[in-house]
Structures are given as C-alpha cells and as structure tokens.
Amino acid sequence: MVKRGISSGTIHKIPSDLEKAVVSLPKVKTLWEDITPLARNEWICWVISGKKAETRNIRIQKALSKMKGGMRRPCCWAGCPHRA
C-alpha cells in the first residue's frame, strides 16, 4: 500500500490546508518528515489554535517561512495545551 499525504502529530492530525501548504514546498516537506511527531504536533496546534481564518492563514505562512529557514518547532509559544 502506498502512503498518501504526510505525517501528523502525536495528538493532532494535520489539517488539509496546512498539509497542502507543506507539500507544496519540497524543502519544508523534507523538514516536516524529519522532525519528531511531537514537533509536528506543536506546529499543527499552533496553526489551529488561531481563532480566525485570517490568523490561521497568517500562521501557515509564518510556519512555512520558519521551516524553510530550518526551524523545527514554533518559538515564543507555550506549546500544545492538549498534550498529556
């Protein structure tokens, strides 16, 4: 069976808008698959915790920019409140 899509986080599944953005940039997709599931979870939670669609879209663009630069986790954020 061929794997479709990309990996998710430990708690959160990657939403389709973030997945589409990540796979559109090969460098970001490579980093995404290289980081830990917990790190992916942090990116996902940071993006989906934005209440407005505008905020979410801004966070997706910031995430792509930061991951293009090699950042493996979102900085200046307390982290996913959903993890145990």
Q: Which residue has tokens 């992916």?
A: 40
Rounded CA-CA distance 79/64 in Å is 18
Residue 35 phi, psi (nearest 5) = -75, 165
Domain hosting residue 56, numbered range: 16-68
Q: Is 24 exposed, middle or buried (0-12, 13-18, 19+ CB in 10 A)?
A: exposed
In a domain, 2, yes or no: no
In a domain, 1, yes or no: no
pLDDT of residue 80: 85
> What is 2-60 written as a DSSP string?
---S----SSPPPPHHHHHHHHTSHHHHHHHHHS-HHHHHHHHHHHHT-SSHHHHHHHH
pLDDT of residue 84: 57
Per-residue pLDDT of the chain (84 residues; tens, 9 = 90+): 434 579 988 899 999 999 999 999 999 999 999 999 999 999 999 999 988 999 999 999 999 999 999 999 998 778 888 875
Domain count of the chain?
1
In a domain, 4, yes or no: no
In a domain, 5, yes or no: no
